[in-house]
Every structure is written in C-alpha cells, then in structure tokens.
Amino acid sequence: MTTDIASTVLRDARRIVVKVGSSLVTNDGRGLDEAAIGEWCRQLSLLVRGGRELIMVSSGAIAEGMKRLGWRTRPSEIHELQAAAAVGQMGLAQMYETKLREHGLGSAQVLLTHADLADRERYLNARSTLLTLLRLGVVPVINENDTVVTDEIKFGDNDTLGALVANLVEADALVILTDQNGLYTADPRRDPNASFVHEAKAGDPALEAMAGGAGSSLGRGGMITKILAAKRAAGSGASTVIAWGREPDALLRLTQGESIGTLLIAPTQKNQARKQWMADHLQLRGAVTVDAGAVHQLRAGGKSLLPIGMTAVEGDFSRGDVIAVRDPEGLEIARGLANYASTEARLICRKPSGEFEKLLGYAAEPEMVHRDNMVLTR
C-alpha cells in the first residue's frame, strides 16, 4: 500500500526527466531498439501534448557504435570508446528525431559533460538552452559528450547525469527506466528472500546497502548508481522512480498516479529546497537596491525583478551568484540568482530591456532576478 504522496508525485509533476539505459536502448547490444524507442517517444508526445515538459537522457551511443563497428566486447582503450561514441551518437540522435517527428514533436540533441555542469557560466548557459527548448515544445535528448572527454567514459554514468539534469532544470521528478523492476532488499538472483521495495525515502543510507554492483557489460552503472542519483536529485526536491523500461505505458501510468517500480521520495519539495538553499546563504557577493515600485511588484505582485526598477548595484558578483535585493531604506526584502554580473548590472540599471543589446552587446534575460529564482525575506 503506497502513501497518498506516492500517488501524487508523478501525477502532479509538470517537468520530468526520463533516463533510459544502454541495455534497453540497444536491446542488450543488438543495435538500437526501434520499437522500444518509438514506444517511449509515443508516450513522451502524449505527455507533452497534455501540458508536461519532458527531457530524455539516453544512453546507448557507445553500445550502438560498437554494433556498427562490429565489436562484440566493450573496448578498454579511451580513444576506441570515443570513436564508438562518435559513430553511435549519429544513429541515436537520428532515431529519436525520426520517432518524435512521427508524433509531431521536434527533438534537440544536447551533449553534456560533468565539466559543463561544474562551471557556473556553462551551467547557466545549458540551463537557459534547455528551458528555452522546453518552452518551444521541443524534447531535448541528452547524452554525455563521450567523444571529447575521458573521465566521464571511465567513471561517469547516465544515472548521475540524469540527476544532474533534473537539478539543472529544477525538474519535479526523475524517472530511471532500467532492465530491472526496481529496487529489492537484496539481489533477487542470489537471495530468494529478497523483497521488492515499493517506496522509500531518497537518501536513506539503508538503500545503498541493498543495491548491488553493475549488472550489464554494456552500461557502466548498476542499482547503486540509481540510488545515488535519486539522492542527488532529491537535493533539489525531485523524487525518483526506478522502473522496468518495457513495462507497458509506464510513463503514462506513472503520471496517472499508478504505482510502478520503486519510488524514492525527496524529503523536501522542489520550491522549498531551492528557496531554503538561497535563504541559507550566509555570505552574499553583492546586492541591488530597488525603488518603491519594484518593492510593491515583488511583494504584492509576485513579479520578477527588472533592471529598470533598480537604483544601485553593490559588490562584485557573477551571473548565477545569490544576491540581496534591498528596498530604498537599505533593508533586504529578497534574495535570488542574478542573471547578470555586477559589471553588466551597473550598465543596465534603470534601463528597459529594449536597450540591453545596445548597452551590453547582447540581449539575454529581461529580468535581473527571475521570480522562480527568488525568495522573499521580508
């Protein structure tokens, strides 16, 4: 028996990251599974038309490249893995594009590395691109950029990438589709007394003790990487479902509130996690002072902070830093993530968005701090 919250996690989720593993995408290494990919794309299309935002994190490039190159075993040489990824990525992207187009949806290939998400500027650029694609109704298909990196191929896994993407776009949920039904208390192949875990709290240390090692020669993960991914995703308030990828209509049934697979519930909801993170910043890199009109718009109107309402900029901060928003008396009324660095903020202070390109040489977001990245403190 699942709890009420379990039945609503996916049912109420608007932005969902779906990750599928190599063994599913490539039918255990026999080449891209056209029928399976087509089925996932059909479900994605129905969900997008229903008003949800979907991002697909798909493994399979190296496995598909191995098949196209006639390799039966995964190579150990980095340059051979990179070559396989380069060959396989062509077919992987083409397959998703074809299957999504059949249902009237566009797709976009996005290749990321962990370095992209570790660098703040690149992190924000990737976030802006993905959110723009979602706004346009396009389904981003994300994979690690294995052709140009080495450590991700050797140590990385797309379960972790799925969690990082969920954090990046502040998703409501992460769905990991795998070749297992979900999490068991022990390996059911070795322990007949193993019981299925329908629901647990993401980050519970007991879960890591239950998870085994990698279960496939194609992929680099295993149940432990999925448990750790769920823990990471929970940091931004996203709950995780681990389910069998060939379960009929799994995505549709999950979003209808049906209990499928293992649900790992984030202890803190998305908005609370983000706002608590901003509120807990002890040292801020800078601040902006706003006029009385902007104060009213922020407090009563729930609006974003526009540069035209700013009267002063203090400190030395970069895009993405948490800054304070102060009223005309100098009292902090809010804090949030800056869309512009302090040098740029001084140039556009008291200016309408139509002048940004002339002043900065480019035009990005119209807001200094978007309402989704702001928490009121007074």
Helix/strand/coil for 24: helix
For residue 297, the surrounding DSSP H or E stretch is helix 292-299
Whose structure tokens read 């026999």? 30
Question: Across all residues in the chain, what is the average pLDDT?
Answer: 88
Q: Are 32 and 43 in contact (CB under 8 A)?
A: no
Q: Which residue intervals of the chain bear CATH 2.30.130.10? A: 281-376
pLDDT category of residue 274 using cuts at 50, 70 and 90: low
Q: Which residues of 258-297 are buried (b: 16+ CB within 10 A; e: fewer)?
A: ebbbbbbbbeeebeebbbeebeeeeebbbbbbbeeebbeb
Mean pLDDT, residues 23-39: 89
The answer to whether residue 150 scores a pLDDT higher than 70 is no
Q: What is the pLDDT of residue 377?
A: 87
Q: What is the pLDDT of residue 341?
A: 94
Q: Are 213 and 9 in contact (CB under 8 A)?
A: no
Dump pLDDT digits (tens) for 281-310: 667 889 999 999 999 999 998 899 999 999
The CATH class, in words, for 281-376 is mainly beta
Q: Are 106 and 138 in contact (CB under 8 A)?
A: yes
Q: What is the pLDDT of residue 219?
A: 42
**pTM for the complete prediction?**
0.78
pLDDT category of residue 273 using cuts at 50, 70 and 90: low
Q: Which residue intervals of the chain bear CATH 3.40.1160.10? A: 4-270
Q: What is the pLDDT of residue 34?
A: 94
Dump pLDDT digits (tens) for 61-102: 888 899 899 998 888 888 898 899 999 999 999 999 999 999
> Rounded to an integer, what distance in angstroms lies between the CA atom of residue 260 and that of residue 257?
9
> Rounded to an integer, what distance in angstroms lies between the CA atom of residue 88 and that of residue 105?
22
Helix/strand/coil for 262: strand
> Rounded to an integer, what distance in angstroms lies between the CA atom of residue 376 and that of residue 324?
10
> Rounded to an integer, what distance in angstroms lies between the CA atom of residue 100 and that of residue 176?
20
Dump pLDDT digits (tens) for 258-270: 999 999 999 877 6
Q: Are 338 and 319 in contact (CB under 8 A)?
A: yes
Dump pLDDT digits (tens) for 314-353: 999 999 889 999 999 999 999 999 999 999 999 999 999 9
> Rounded to an integer, what distance in angstroms lies between the CA atom of residue 159 and that of residue 179?
13
Q: What is the pLDDT of residue 182?
A: 92
Q: What is the pLDDT of residue 153?
A: 40
Cα–Cα distances in angstroms (integers) from residue 164 to residues 125, 158, 235, in the given order: 14, 9, 10
Q: What is the pLDDT of residue 214?
A: 42
Cα–Cα distances in angstroms (integers) from residue 283 to residues 41, 123, 280, 317, 373, in the given order: 45, 21, 9, 12, 17
- Share above pLDDT 70 across residues of the chain, in percent, rounded to a whole number: 90
pLDDT category of residue 30 using cuts at 50, 70 and 90: confident
Which pair of tokens denotes residue 22? 């190599």
Query: What CATH number was assigned to the domain covering residues 4-270?
Result: 3.40.1160.10
